[in-house]
Each structure stands twice: as C-alpha cells, then as structure tokens.
C-alpha cells in the first residue's frame, strides 16, 4: 500500500511496489487522457532549496498533467529560510497548504527530518550527495521501456561515482533484480564509496572497477553517464583536473553493441559529445520524458488516487 507513504530513499519501496509504479507509468504512457483529471483539487508543494531544472519542472508538469495545482519556491532566498526559519517550521507550515510535497535540500538527511514534521506525503527530490529516489524511478522506467527487462544486464556507470547520488541509488535499485552485474568506470579519486562496494559484496553481486571506458564499453547493455559534481568538491583545482575524465563520442560508440542504451540523469556538461545525441542508442532525452510520467504515477500512488 503506497497511499500516504513518504519516499526518502530509493529502497523505501519493495520491488513489488516499484513494479506497481512502473506498471502505472506504462498505463499513463498508453492512455494519458485517462489520467488528466485524477488530481483535480490536489496541490503539490515544490520546496527547492537547491537549483534544479528537470526535477522541479517535471514534478510541476506531472501535477498539472493530472489536473492538479502546484505552489512552491525554487531557491531558499525567496522563502523565510533566509530569515532564519527552521526546516521543521517550513514543513509544518507548507503541509497545511498542500496535499503532497517534493523537497530538494543540499543537506544530507534533511528529507528524513522534513518527513517527520510533514502532515502530507513527502518526496525527497535530492538531499545533498545522499539520495535522489525519483531519479532512480526515472532511470528504472527508462531501462524498462528501452530494454523490456530489469534483470540479466551488465550495467556500466561512468564518471563521478563518488559524489553522484543517482549512481548510488541506481546500483542499489538494480541490485534487487536478478543477475545484474556492474562495471564501475571512474578515475581512482571518484570511485564509488566503500559502503556501496560492501553492499555489493554482501549480496554476492558481480562488479569490477576500471578506469578506461574503451576497455569495457563493448560488454555493456546499459551505460549510465554522469557529470563530475562540481558543487560537491572542496577544491576547484581537483574539479578542473577531473572534470573531463570521460567524454563519450561517436568513436567510442563504435565500440559498443547495437542495443546499448546510454542514459544520463542530466544536466550534461562535457561528458557526452552532442554528436552522440542523434544516435538511436542515446536515450537520455527520452529519460527526461519518462521522468514526468513516473512522477505522475508516484503522485497518484502516494495520494491514493489509483
């Protein structure tokens, strides 16, 4: 039962519940007009204390496409946080104005704190380097719609695997489906945190860490590219040295199989050359569309409308 639940971590929902959301998303893709009035009278609050294009606008698009409304702010400077209001008081207040809240905040753990003060379902739209579970739902729907399966795959993740919260959540999510294995492509300084490796080992899930994309791209069913997360670096010089570690271009795509799917949570900086955008294996702009659909499905489930 997903009604009135919060979504804070990618593994808050079990596999059956995730599949329920993906199945509803597929229904929405097939018959969007059946869903266009289901949230009449419902209000979504979008509380974004950190910049966003896709997550905030896709939530807003999702509630509008369901016939609901949206209120919120896109930076803490335009909220009373700038006057010293606590997160607890902001959430207590906004849950009187809304039926459901999506919040992004740079502080890790802020989403779980906020959920403890919220009277309405709270969705974590990103809490620092910790979790971004609706991006994970987006990634799962994209893989499902592209490959027609979520199991028996070799999944490459490339770039900033240390700070990329979407990487950590996707590894955990795909680990729940049978016989997936991971190829972790990063410079040594940007390898996945130890807790992810410990997690994979504890589940006996096959993975390897490599530095060169060219050595492994031909083995992959899915390649998940990520940008180097400038905002999480303490030192500008380290960011500049590492930011162009990987650039996926048409020459590297020639080494991949015909049915590779290239995903990227976006925003992109330099890590995928624009020449790759017209390759049918590049699905990152379809992924943007699936981000709206899966958030529509999530809102319906948490509100108990479907």
Query: In 3-state terms, what secondary structure has residue 197?
Result: helix
Q: Which is nearer to ligand CP, 21 or 170 (CB)?
A: 170
Considering the rule CB under 6 A, would residue 267 count as an interface residue with ligand CP?
A: yes
The DSSP letter of residue 97 is T
The pair of structure tokens assigned to 74 is: 């896109």
Cα gap 291→25, rounded to integer Å: 10
- In terms of Cα–Cα distance, which of 76, 89, 81, 96 is closest to 116? 89
Among 128, 133, 156, 265, binds ligand CP (CB under 6 A): 265
* Stretch in the footprint of ligand CP (CB under 6 A) among 2-10, 68-76, 167-175, 262-270: 262-270
241 C-beta neighbours (distance < 10 Å), count? 13
- How far does CA 80 lie from the centroid of its chain? 28
Site for ligand CP in 75-134 (CB under 6 A): none
Rounded (10°) angle between helices 110-117 and 87-94: 50
Site for ligand CP in 181-220 (CB under 6 A): none
CA angle at 197 for the pair 192 and 202, rounded to the nearest 5°: 160
* Stretch in the footprint of ligand CP (CB under 6 A) among 93-101, 183-191, 233-241, 260-268: 260-268
Q: Which is nearer to ligand CP, 115 or 124 (CB)?
A: 124
CB of 107 to ligand CP, least distance (A): 16
Q: Which is nearer to ligand CP, 216 or 276 (CB)?
A: 276
Q: Which is nearer to ligand CP, 74 or 245 (CB)?
A: 74
Sign of CA dihedral 72, 87, 292, 6: negative
Cα gap 10→165, rounded to integer Å: 10
CB of 219 to ligand CP, least distance (A): 26
Residue 96 bridge partners (DSSP): none
Q: Which is nearer to ligand CP, 90 or 135 (CB)?
A: 135
Q: Which is nearer to ligand CP, 46 or 175 (CB)?
A: 46
Site for ligand CP in 48-67 (CB under 6 A): 52-55
The residues of the shown chain that bind ligand CP, judged by CB under 6 A, are 52-55, 135, 265-267
């Amino acid at each position: 039962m997903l009604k009135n639940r919060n979504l804070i971590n990618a593994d808050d929902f079990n596999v059956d519940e995730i599949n329920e959301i993906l199945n509803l998303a597929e229904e929405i893709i097939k018959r969007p007009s059946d869903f266009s009035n289901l949230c009449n009278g419902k209000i979504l609050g979008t509380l974004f204390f950190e910049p966003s294009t896709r997550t905030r606008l896709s939530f807003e698009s999702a509630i509008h496409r369901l016939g609901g409304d949206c209120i919120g702010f896109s930076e803490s400077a335009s909220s009373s946080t700038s006057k010293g209001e606590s997160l607890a008081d902001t959430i207590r207040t906004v849950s009187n104005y809304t039926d459901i809240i999506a919040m992004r905040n740079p502080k890790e753990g802020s989403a779980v704190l906020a959920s403890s003060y919220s009277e309405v379902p709270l969705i974590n739209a990103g809490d620092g380097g910790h979790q971004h579970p609706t991006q994970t739902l987006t990634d799962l729907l994209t893989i499902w719609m592209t490959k027609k399966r979520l199991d028996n795959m070799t999944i490459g993740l490339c770039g900033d695997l240390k700070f990329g919260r979407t990487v950590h959540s996707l590894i955990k999510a795909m680990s729940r489906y049978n016989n997936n294995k991971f190829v972790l492509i990063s410079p040594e300084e940007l390898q996945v945190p130890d807790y992810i490796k410990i997690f994979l080992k504890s589940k006996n899930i096959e993975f390897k860490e490599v530095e060169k994309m060219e050595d492994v791209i031909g083995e992959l069913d899915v390649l998940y590219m990520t940008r180097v997360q400038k905002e999480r670096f303490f030192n500008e010089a380290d960011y500049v040295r590492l930011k162009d570690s990987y650039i996926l271009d048409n020459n590297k795509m020639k080494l991949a199989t015909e049915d590779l799917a290239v995903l990227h949570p976006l925003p992109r900086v330099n890590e995928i050359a624009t020449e790759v955008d017209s390759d049918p294996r590049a699905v990152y702009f379809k992924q943007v569309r699936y981000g709206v659909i899966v958030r529509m499905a999530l809102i319906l489930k948490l509100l108990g409308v479907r």
